[in-house]
Chains A and B, each alone.
Chain A
Amino acid sequence: MPFHYDKDSDGIVTLTMDMSGSANVMNLEYRDLMGEAVSRLEGDEITGVIITSAKKTFFAGGDLNVLIAITPENASQALEGVEELKSQLRRLEKLGKPVVAAINGSALGGGFEIALASHRRIVLNDNSIRVGLPEATLGLLPGGGGVTRMVRLLGVQKALPLLMEGKQLRPERALQAGVVHQLVETREELISEARAWILANPAPVQPWDVQGAGVPDLKFGDPNSYGLLGAAPAVLRKKSHGAYPAPEKIMATAVEGAYVDFDTALKIEGRYFLELASGQVSKNMITAFWFNLNEVNGRASSTGKRVAKLGVLGAGMMGAGIAEVSAKAGIEVVLKDVTLEAAQKGAGGLEGVKPTDSDDDLAGCDLIIEAVFENRELKNKVLGAAEAQALPDAVIASNTSTLPITGLATAVPDAERFIGLHFFSPVPKMRLVEIIRGERTSEETLQRALDYVRQIGKTPIVVNDSRGFYTSRTFGTYVVEAISMLAEGVAPALIENVARKAGMAVGPLAVSDEVTLSLQLKIHDQTVADDPSLVSDSAAYDLIREMVGLGRAGKSTGAGFYEYPSDGSKKFLWPELTTRYVKADAGVSEQDVRDRLLFVQALESVRCLDEGVLTSVADANIGSIFGFGFAPWSGGTLQFINSYGVQAFVERADYLADTYGERFRPPASLRERDKF
């Protein structure tokens, strides 16, 4: 399939990109097609060019199969390819004839770089369309001239936030941001407006090719820029703690390129692009946020059934959140609690959510989700009553985060229709749902659960039943490891700071306070009562028990590992932690603190895979990042091991096991593996 080249009687060429795959992407085929097209345009008598797409999207971006294969060894070859792509676009914008991008669908990454090399960008004003340069979200930078053109178009200060955060913009927002010129309401207008602009502007010049043009807000030797330039890396570090090379290199590309001419700036951009593309973090992020995410999202929708009516039991924060996201997806929701008042409070007057205190209102539900307190008897009671009212083939689900699903399934007559749907708090914000298959959960029930998760626009992972399932169980090791270190005498600030530097969303002691220490203790004691062999780290729990005994059970009680000043000022670590627990000679280096926090989670994930709690690497990676904020730069718990190198990881884990305890001993399965 080609780039269709149609020249009309006015001499206007419409170049319609129609590559062989389902979308237009930047790969070798593109390079040949664009190369041919530009050469033909250069040799032809034309008035102007309209670039558009025969696909649903305008252009999808770089081919990630190609990008993930770039290594330091083949980097120079890759650079040649990138330089060729940039040179084609450079020739296009310097044809001396107007080039208009008629953006009929999303134009992202390389696609938007083609648009940037056009003199005018007209976008169909459709809310499902996104334009922008999301490379940073995959650990890359827009290396097809995207950084250089954006900086010269908008100035460093406006361009950098868009580039460093990898923003994808709706058409309206793109117009406001100044990255496109015009919106139109219909496809016909897209072409007619493009034609009109070409006829009115016979010889446009890109803003960066105007004599004397540079970067609008950054000139060489301007001392007024120095304060901002000095602070910008610090502002970034406050967010990234140095774990994300892409925004750093985007900033460097923008600034270093600003002092030189356009084509030299492109060279600088190419070098930084290659550094990122051949580096490990982009591999990790492409693996998780592209390949793994597509895998888990791709599983959904096979039954063709959609949930029409949902019953949510328990109108606390979780129940209310589940009701909200479901109602927003167009599902009729009944939110039931013990009293109508509690149910009303949870429903918050939201359209499509009917608060009730009566099981009768659950009649006709094809999905029930229980979100009451973590108490078996209570759950049994409400689940049994609800099941009796729902449709005979309704799926019955529990939002428990701790109780085994197989056991809860006995609350209903037909355990095959029972499943775990573990949401994360706050529900509207957290995109993951952990689906837990009980021993007797049927395939049909699983499919319907997947379809529901898809219906509400969330990302599912599927795991098998186990105490704490995958996410709570693995995340628990992070928190307990931190508390063990505190018990060993490691400074609490070191633990919290190193966790953030390692890329964890929140410090483990802060999280512990959020979860409350008393709840952790309760779960632990229940676990020990059920199976004493499951406990390995008593020092940590002794410390938790002591904290609870001191009346410091966590944030909700006003005191935990942190102090929570009543005047609302920022929390700070309880100073007495230092006098009580910290030892000057604790002898745990910063590197060991970091590795203990990350390795303990990675190793638990390996065990989950060994035990069949996890059935895929993608579930592990996606669940860890979206479920409990495991360092996104690493690509998730198992990709972290890949990126470390499995054998190097095993060696390091053996060291940690020898030094800090057998929980770090790598499972036999890991010693045999090359990669996940």
Chain B
Amino acid sequence: MSEALIFDAVRTPRGKGKRGSLHSVKPVALAAGVLRALSERNSLDTSAVDDVVFGVVSPLGEQGGDIARTAVLAAGWDQRPAGVQLNRFCASGLESVNLAAAKVASGFEDLVVAGGVESMSRVPMGSDGGAWAIDPATNFDLSFVPQGVSADLIATLEGFSRTDVDAWAARSHARAFEAQKDGRFERSVVPVIDQNGTVVLKEDETIRPESTVESLGRLKPSFQFHGDLGYDTVAIDRYPTVERINHVHTPGNSSQIVDGAAAMLIGSEAAGRALGLTARARIVSVAVVGTEPTIMLTGPAPSARKALDKAGLSVEDIDLFEVNEAFSSVVLKFLRDMDIPEDKVNVNGGAIALGHPLGATGCMILGTLLDELERRDLRRGLATLCVGGGMGIATIIERV
């Protein structure tokens, strides 16, 4: 067994959907871009990389066909690194990290790039279908509902009001704004450039510091329509103590639909030494769990506990948390379930302010966590995401 060490992490800025700067950039260009940035700034001999593991949630069209291998070649890397695309829905980016870590820790491979890409503006979410949603018999038997209805169900069961969820959203924007102003994202963010060397986007373009509980409170619920169609009945039949679903989530307190990519270099100590790389952190433990699929988004706490148990740690041993802000209620439930203070969680904002490029997000938030642990000179951090289909994922890192 060798330790899985993180040597570096990069990500693109997040572009804001169809009206955003990255809509003109194809997914393979985003993916190749982060690979190129990673190899350039580490003067990496890319032939030493065993594999590139990339998460993509809608792997079809120009984003399909094992984009990881395609990106290796498109980036002009040595032909020897292989490439694999994986899909664990919203956790794909962190699953890539965990799989890369497992490859290294097992000793089967020595140096692996983990990451992910998603151009949600070019390849819309859900465009790959899937039996869970579009096969009627499966959908019916599994009580499928869209995630937004699940998020609203969590808020209903936990008693989170519209004000509660909007307040978290406003905080996400305020924190992200401060972080950006303070240059806290600069260590990881690499600009997206076109084939002529022109910068397309150099920082996240999604932050709205002017958001307040009051302004957010004016937005219409996003999932009332879906609920009325029949999805509320599906949810209530599964949770029959609920009389009606309180639809509190809006575009303002849910993760933004964005484009972006991320990559992280993970390897053994020996591989690092051979290539002259300095380790920044080690991966302490990882966990995935399955949870009830209709409420779907309650996986973060059980996955975090599982990772803590595996590492023999307690909640108090973790200095900072990154919880993906798929929806406000997911974070609020995590805070309640784990009984942790707000000032340890998403201290530089989250996906409500910064966006959630599905295949890449997990890798991005782990990078953000590592940067902030270094900035504050703290030791351990835990990143977690809720996952479609009723799953949760967590990764604990420790600076070295």
Among B124, B144, B236, B243, point to the contact of A230 (Cβ < 8 A).
B144
Instruction: Determine whether the beta carbon of B243 is less than 8 Å from that of A573.
Output: yes
State whether the Cβ of B289 lies closer than 8 Å to any Cβ in chain A: no
A378-399 near B? 1/0 per residue, CB < 8 Å: 0000000000000000000000
For B231, what are the chain A residues with a Cβ–Cβ distance below 8 Å? 231, 234
User: Contacts A223-B124, A229-B136, A231-B229 known; A237 to B240 CB distance under 8 Å?
Assistant: no
Tell me the residues in window 232-277 of chain B with beta carbons closer than 8 Å to chain A beta carbons: 233-234, 236-237, 240-244
Q: For the complex, what is the distance from the CA of A225 to the CA of B130, rounded to whole Å?
A: 12
- Which residue in chain B gives the minimum CB-CB distance to A499? B240
Instruction: Determine whether the beta carbon of A255 is less than 8 Å from that of B136.
Output: yes
State whether the Cβ of A572 lies closer than 8 Å to any Cβ in chain B: yes
- Kindly specify which of A72-80, A169-177, A296-304, A490-498 makes contact with the partner chain: A490-498
User: Contacts A241-B237, A248-B136, A248-B140 known; A234 to B129 CB distance under 8 Å?
Assistant: no
State whether the Cβ of B358 lies closer than 8 Å to any Cβ in chain A: no
Instruction: Determine whether the beta carbon of B233 is less than 8 Å from that of A230.
Output: no
- B344 CB, min distance to chain A CBs, angstroms: 31
Tell me the residues in window 69-121 of chain B with beta carbons closer than 8 Å to chain A beta carbons: none
**Interface residues of A, CB < 8 Å — how many?**
33
Q: For the complex, what is the distance from the CA of A235 to the CA of B127, rounded to whole Å?
A: 21
Instruction: Determine whether the beta carbon of A230 is less than 8 Å from that of B134.
Output: yes
Instruction: Determine whether the beta carbon of A230 is less than 8 Å from that of B139.
Output: yes
Instruction: Determine whether the beta carbon of B126 is less than 8 Å from that of A226.
Output: yes
Interface core residue of B127, B229, B233 (most chain A CB under 10 Å)? B233
Instruction: Determine whether the beta carbon of B230 is less than 8 Å from that of A230.
Output: no
For A221, what are the chain B residues with a Cβ–Cβ distance below 8 Å? 129
State whether the Cβ of A256 lies closer than 8 Å to any Cβ in chain B: yes
State whether the Cβ of A67 lies closer than 8 Å to any Cβ in chain B: no
Tell me the residues in window 208-236 of chain A with beta carbons closer than 8 Å to chain B beta carbons: 221, 223, 225-226, 229-236
For B139, what are the chain A residues with a Cβ–Cβ distance below 8 Å? 229-230, 233
User: Contacts A223-B124, A242-B237 known; A231 to B136 CB distance under 8 Å?
Assistant: no
User: Contacts A230-B133, A256-B135, A590-B240 known; A237 to B126 CB distance under 8 Å?
Assistant: no
- Which residue in chain A gives the minimum CB-CB distance to B123? A223
Q: For the complex, what is the distance from the CA of A492 to the CA of B126, rounded to whole Å?
A: 37
- B89 CB, min distance to chain A CBs, angstroms: 15
Tell me the residues in window 127-169 of chain B with beta carbons closer than 8 Å to chain A beta carbons: 127, 129, 133-137, 139-140, 144-146
Among A226, A241, A590, point to the contact of B233 (Cβ < 8 A).
A241
Instruction: Determine whether the beta carbon of B237 is less than 8 Å from that of A501.
Output: yes
State whether the Cβ of B226 lies closer than 8 Å to any Cβ in chain A: yes
State whether the Cβ of A251 lies closer than 8 Å to any Cβ in chain B: yes
- B371 CB, min distance to chain A CBs, angstroms: 37
- Which residue in chain B gives the minimum CB-CB distance to A231? B229
Instruction: Determine whether the beta carbon of B243 is less than 8 Å from that of A493.
Output: yes
Instruction: Determine whether the beta carbon of B127 is less than 8 Å from that of A232.
Output: no
- Which residue in chain B gives the minimum CB-CB distance to A160? B136
Instruction: Determine whether the beta carbon of B230 is less than 8 Å from that of A497.
Output: no
Among A226, A235, A242, A494, point to the contact of B134 (Cβ < 8 A).
A226
A483-521 near B? 1/0 per residue, CB < 8 Å: 000000001111011100100000000000000000000
State whether the Cβ of A249 lies closer than 8 Å to any Cβ in chain B: yes
Q: For the complex, what is the distance from the CA of A216 to the CA of B237, rounded to whole Å?
A: 34
Instruction: Determine whether the beta carbon of A234 is less than 8 Å from that of B237.
Output: no
User: Contacts A229-B134, A238-B230, A256-B135 known; A491 to B126 CB distance under 8 Å?
Assistant: no
State whether the Cβ of A325 lies closer than 8 Å to any Cβ in chain B: no
Instruction: Determine whether the beta carbon of B129 is less than 8 Å from that of A235.
Output: no
Q: For the complex, what is the distance from the CA of A238 to the CA of B236, rounded to whole Å?
A: 10
- A240 CB, min distance to chain B CBs, angstroms: 10
Q: For the complex, what is the distance from the CA of A242 to the CA of B135, rounded to whole Å?
A: 16
19 A-B residue contacts at CB 8 Å? A223-B124, A223-B127, A223-B129, A226-B133, A229-B135, A231-B231, A233-B140, A234-B229, A234-B231, A234-B233, A237-B234, A238-B229, A238-B230, A242-B237, A248-B136, A491-B241, A493-B240, A494-B240, A494-B241
A-B interface, 7 closest residue pairs, ranked by CB to CB distance from nearest: A234-B230, A238-B230, A497-B240, A493-B243, A252-B137, A233-B140, A229-B134
Interface on B for A, CB 8 Å cutoff? Answer: 124, 126-127, 129, 133-137, 139-140, 144-146, 226, 229-231, 233-234, 236-237, 240-244
Given A233-B234, A237-B233, 15 further pairs, Cβ under 8 A: A223-B129, A229-B136, A230-B133, A231-B226, A233-B139, A234-B145, A234-B230, A234-B234, A237-B237, A238-B230, A248-B137, A251-B136, A252-B135, A491-B241, A572-B243
